[in-house]
Amino acid sequence: GENVEQHPSTLSVQEGDSAVIKCTYSDSASNYFPWYKQELGKGPQLIIDIRSNVGEKKDQRIAVTLNKTAKHFSLHITETQPEDSAVYFCAASTGGSSNTGKLIFGQGTTLQVKP
Amino acid sequence: DGGITQSPKYLFRKEGQNVTLSCEQNLNHDAMYWYRQDPGQGLRLIYYSQIVNDFQKGDIAEGYSVSREKKESFPLTVTSAQKNPTAFYLCASSWGPAGGTGELFFGEGSRLTVL
């Protein structure tokens, strides 16, 4: 079946450094790629997403890049802060048309930002 | 406040017992979903419903059942047929299908432990 691979599983950085999380997907028809952040004891929350007609999208300290040819996309967080510490999930749409599409999630990355 | 409410937050069950997890949303969303979260495995789709009185199996539906009698409610029953039910369960909703344009809004989850 379709799948999404996410790396690394854990990431520790110093406050102020950058963090990069990478995902690869298998369904060449995937056209929607969201990133979710899950803080301790809470449900995941969408932080940024990108569609297949765009190569890069930025929102303040967060950016996502997409390489459709290689079927991978990445989350970049610059100037990390302790409040960025959380579990991050990538996802890719699958299942064909947008009326029936589902999301396949990656395994998650636990990001720790050390003050 | 609009959102998704899951209950109970923690639940203990003896082997052989069925248990029902509640999920209610007041966001007027058409679509609702149940995900299972296990360490290192990301979020896996159990069941989803795009409209009242209709639902589809996700990737790991065996041992689970759902109903969608009202737009606001999408309860999940974990049956005794589920071989490894101990997990963190997340309910979500979206305007449209999650694989298309629909951002997922998650509840805070229910942690089920089988004793």
- Summarised one tens digit per residue, pLDDT across range B75-91 is 999 998 898 999 999 99
- Summarised one tens digit per residue, pLDDT across range A27-68 is 998 989 999 999 998 999 999 999 988 899 999 999 999 999
Q: Tokens standing for B44?
A: 């896996």
DSSP letter (8 states) at residue B32: E
Q: Helices (DSSP H) in B1-115: which residue ranges? A: none
Predicted local confidence at residue A96, as pLDDT: 58
| Cβ neighbours of residue B39 closer than 8 Å, sequence gap 6 or more | none
d(CA B86, CA B71): 28
Mutate to test the interface with A, among B43, B56, B91 (most CBs of A within 10 A): B43
Average pLDDT over residues A79-100: 85
Q: Which of residues 47-106 of A touch B (CB under 8 A)?
A: 49, 89, 93-95, 97-103, 105-106
% pLDDT > 90, chain A: 79
Would the CB atoms of B108 and A43 count as touching at under 8 Å? yes
Q: Which of residues 3-62 of B touch A (CB under 8 A)?
A: 4, 35, 40-45, 48, 58-59
Please, what is the average pLDDT of chain A? Answer: 92
**Would the CA dihedral through B56, B107, B13, B70 be positive or negative?**
negative
Please, what is the average pLDDT of chain B? Answer: 92
Closest among A99, A45, A74, A90 to B106, alpha carbons compared = A45
**DSSP letter for each residue of A27-64:** -TT--EEEEEEE-TTS--EEEEEEETT-SEEEETTEEE
Quick one: CA torsion of B68, B50, B55, B83, rounded to 10 degrees?
A: -90
H or E element at residue B29: none
d(CA B95, CA B88): 24
Confidence of residue B40 (pLDDT cuts 50, 70, 90): confident
d(CA B5, CA A17): 36
Would the CB atoms of A100 and B98 count as touching at under 8 Å? no
